[in-house]
Amino acid sequence: MEEAVAIASMQRVMVVGCPGSGKTTFARRLGAALALPVIHLDFHFWRPGWEIPDLATWRQQVAGLAAAPQWVMDGNYSNTYDIRMPRADGLVWLDHPRAVCLRRVLLRTVKGYGTTRPDLPAGCPERVDVAFLRYVWDFPRMHRPRIEAGIARFGSQLRVTRLGSDGDVRDFFARLVAPTQGASSAA
């Protein structure tokens, strides 16, 4: 998994994947490992009460976030791939099985019901949302193709790393950390 070593030298990395695949946790870990700021797009997208911003405002906001010199940015938002992908060095795609993602979303909802996660703005508490569960279920069929099309159209320069399981994620971080530890112990 040489991708981890290649990602280690990057300054702007997108993290995409189905809700429940672990994007937020992965982005936090990657940001800490690379000493890069982490941007959770959900935090910037949602308005209190789960209100959606108008598209022009949203795209302008994302352009400002993507203009930063360094970041790890988690979130799909395919309507902004044209802004983010050309700026990114790398893309990590957490492509976990649908059942895993759905189970995690359901557990997250039950455990955090009524509270707001740190990656969301105030006024957006966990709730049961049938439309969102449908989105998770349909993600492989509806949204994988959007990710692939976005990469093909806007991200030909990207180093893409696709991780399909928790084991792949563990291996990725083990390889990401190992070269750094070896370099510092040799100094």
25-39 tens-digit pLDDT: 999 999 999 999 999
Rounded to two decimals, what is the model's pTM?
0.91
What tokens does 138 get?
Answer: 């349909």
Examine the pLDDT at 102 and tell me if it is beyond 60.
Answer: yes
| Structural domains counted in the chain | 1
Asked if residue 181 is part of any domain, the answer here is: no
Give the domain CATH number at 131.
Answer: 3.40.50.300
The answer to whether residue 182 is domain-embedded is no
13 touches 88 (CB < 8 A): yes
For 15, 49, 55, 112, 175, the CA distances from 3, given in Å and listed in that order, are 14, 39, 34, 34, 9
Q: Domain span at residue 136?
A: 3-176
Give residue 7's pLDDT.
74
Q: What percent of the chain has pLDDT over 90?
A: 87
* Mean per-residue pLDDT, 80-89: 97
